[in-house]
Structure 1
C-alpha cells in the first residue's frame, strides 16, 4: 500500500495536469459550438472505424462456418440438378425417357480435403469421411467445378481418393458442342493424365471424323458407372487430327484447380452394384 501511495505522490503533478486538461476540454466543448461539433464528428469517425474493424473481424471468424453452409447448400442443389438433367436428357425425337428410379440413383456426401498431392505420377487426396459416413471404395468424387477422382480405400473416418492426376485413372468422357448436338452424335473418349501439368489431361480414342474444336466442353459421358453424365471435366485446349490415325489428339484444360481444393462431393451410384453383378453374370455365361 505504501508503495502505491509513494507512486501516486511521485506522479501527482502529472495526474494534476491530466485532470486540468480534461477540465479544459470540457469547458471548451461546453462554451464553443464549433469545438463541440468538431469533437462530435471526430468521435463518430473513430467509432465508425472501430465498428468497421469489428465487423470485418467477425466476418473473417465466421467465414469457415459460412463456407461449410454454402458447401452443404451446393450439395443439395447438385443432387437436384443431376436428377433434373437425367430426367430431361436430350435425345433425337424423344425416343428415350429416363424413369424416376434411374434419375434418383445418385446421392451426394459433402467431404473436406484433409490432405492431397499434385507433384507425383500417382496423386491421391485424403478426405474426412469414411465407412462411418457410408463411403465405399469405387465411389466417384467431384468438386464445385468438376471431376476430382474416385475413392480407392476407406477407414472408419477417412477416405483416400485416386485423383484424376493419377496415371492409372480413366474418366469416360465426351466432347460437347453445337455441331454434335445438332447431329445427335456423341464424341466419346477417355481422359487420362499424362503425368505433366496438373491442369491438363489427354483425351484419347475420339473418332477423328467427329467435329471437335478448341474451347469445346468435355464432360462425363452417360457410359459412366461412377459419375452422373454431364459433369464438367474441362475444356479442349488443343486438338490435332492425324492423316493416318483413327483418332483426334486432344488436350483438355481441367476445370478443377487441385491446388486450391477444399470441399468435394462423394457420389454414391445406388444402382452400380446391380449393374456390375449383371455384367459379371453375363461375362461368366459366355
Structure 2
C-alpha cells in the first residue's frame, strides 16, 4: 500500500495531466455538436471493427467442428443415397431387391493426414484403423468422387492406394452412352485420367459423367470417377482415346469416407470357386 501511495505521489503531475485531458475531451464532446457527432461515428466504427475481428476469430476457431459436422452429415447422406439407389435399381418391375443386399454399404468418416500426388504410385494416410473396423480392400471416396482402396491398416491408421497409381483400375460406366470400361491414371497429371476399352463405335459426349459401374464389389455404383473432356480417334486403334477430368481434387483432400461392403467377402469367396473353370 505504501508503495502505491509513493507511486501516485511521484507520478502526480502525469496523472493530473491525463485527468485534465480526459476532462477536456469530455467538455468538447458534450458542448460541441460537430465533435460530438465525429466522436460518436468514430467510436462506432472502431467498436464495429473490434466486434468483426472478434466474430471472425470465433468463426475460425469453430471451423474444425463445423468441418467435422459437415463430414458426418455427408456420411449419413451418402449412406442414405446409396441405400435408395440399391433399393430401386434400373431393373424390371418384377425384380425385388434383397434388403440385406441393398443396405450392404457402410460409411466411416476419416481425416487425411498425409497424401502424395507427384509419384507414379501414390498413397494416402488416414486417421482410422482396425480399432475403427477398417480393413484392407475397403473403398475410399471423397464428397466429389472416388479416391482409392485401403491397402494396409494399423490399429489407428490406414494406408490407401490412391487412384493416382500406375496399377489401379476402376470399373467405370459412361452415363449417357451406358457403356462400361476401365478408368486408369496415366501417371502424368493428377487431375486427369484415361478411360480404356471404349469401342470406336460408341457415340461419345463431351462432358459425359463417368461413374463406378455395377460390376464392382468395392464401391457402390454411381460414384463419380470423372467427366469426359477429350476424345481422340487413332485410325490404327479399335478404341477411343478418352481423357477424363478426375472428380476428386487430390490437392485439397481433407475428409474422406471409407466404404465397407458387408457382403464383399461373401461375394469374392463365392466368385473364387469359378476361377479354376476360367483357365
SS in 1 for 2:51: helix
**Residue 266 of structure 1: how far off its partner (Å):** 0.3
Moved more, 132-141 or 27-36: 27-36
Q: Which runs of 5+ in 1 are unaligned?
A: 181-185
* 2: CA distance, partners of 1:26 / 1:82: 69
Aligned counterpart in structure 2 of residue 192 of structure 1, from 168, 184, 192 = 184
Query: How do residues 80-229 of structure 1 correspond to structure 2 at under 5 angstroms?
Result: 80-91=80-91, 94=93, 96-177=95-176, 180=177, 186-229=178-221
- Displacement of 1:94: 4.0
1:14 maps to which residue? Answer: 14
TM superposition shift of 1:4: 6.8
Paired positions, count? 278
Q: Kindly tell me: are residues 253 and 80 of structure 1, through their superposed partners in 2, closer, same or farther at Cα, counting changes over 3 Å?
A: same
Tell me, what secondary structure is at the counterpart of 2:23?
Answer: helix
- TM-score, structure 2 as length reference: 0.92
Q: Deviations over 1:234-282 (max 9, x none)?
A: 0112112344433221111101111110000000001111111111123
Question: CA 1:138 to 1:208, structure 2 compared with 1: closer, same or farther past 3 Å?
Answer: same
Kindly report the root-mean-square deviation, in angstroms, between the aligned alpha carbons of the 2 structures. Answer: 2.1
Helix, strand or coil for the counterpart of 1:21?
helix
Find the aligned partners of 2:125 and 2:29 in 1 and give their Cα distance: 65
Q: 1:231 aligns with which of 223, 228, 242?
A: 223
- For residue 212 of structure 1, report the CA deviation from its aligned partner: 1.5
Stretches of structure 2 that go unaligned for 5 or more consecutive residues are none
3-state SS of 1:82 partner: helix
Q: CA deviation at 1:8?
A: 5.0
**Once structures 1 and 2 are overlaid, which stretch shifts more, 241-250 or 32-41?**
32-41
1:175-225 deviation line (CA, Å, top 9, x unaligned): 111xx3xxxxx3111111111111111111122222212211111000011
Q: TM-score, normalised by structure 1?
A: 0.90
